[in-house]
Amino acid sequence: MNIEATAVPDAYRITPRLLTDDRGSFHEAFRSDALERDTGHVFTAAQCNHSSSRRGTLRGMHSVLLPPGQAKYVSCVRGSVLDVVADLRLGSPTFGAYTSTVLEAHGGTGVFVAEGLAHGFVALTDDACVSYLCSTAYVPGTQVDVFPLDPALGLPWHLGLTGEPLLSPKDAAAPSLARAADLGLLATYDECRAHYARQRRTR
């Protein structure tokens, strides 16, 4: 597999090598040893989630308070989505930067999202199914939501939409980027770097 840095530090695009024959195809969807070797990030899956979405559904932008924090490995296992990761770590040299990737089931490409980064996607097909490997189990009250259509984020949802996106009531009512910062919901860059370093030391 090929592990590629993106415009957002600590977010990586992972493209597998497909082995195909007349039966179909096979690929390694994820390898934690390869991720650690190529990026320095330690990732052990504690929970796996799936979501199914109709075309035009926008889920995001989501993160988790630090602590506990939550890294994710995201892939599309049915249909396709436009996946977006944004750097919302306060004090980051690339604060506000984002990267977008079309994830398609037939290609197997995935995205690694480190703790402190925000993630979301818009479904490009009906019944698009996204798989999330998560480094920590769900803890009620720790999820961070930021309004995905906030002009301050400037995220490229238009690349995957021809009309208004479908949002959950929770995402539609999420605070703006500025409000999330005022509420103390966003991790700092230094806190995240210290968290990554602790994971490497305690591996």
Catalytic residues: 62, 132
Cβ density class 136-162: b for 16+ within 10 Å, e for less: beeeeeeebbbbbbbeebebebeebbe
Could you give the 3-state DSSP secondary structure of residue 40? Answer: coil
Q: Is the dihedral of CA 44, 76, 101, 86 positive or negative?
A: negative
Judged by phi (left if over 0) then psi (alpha if -120 to 50, else beta), residue 184 lies in: left
Could you give the 3-state DSSP secondary structure of residue 119? Answer: strand
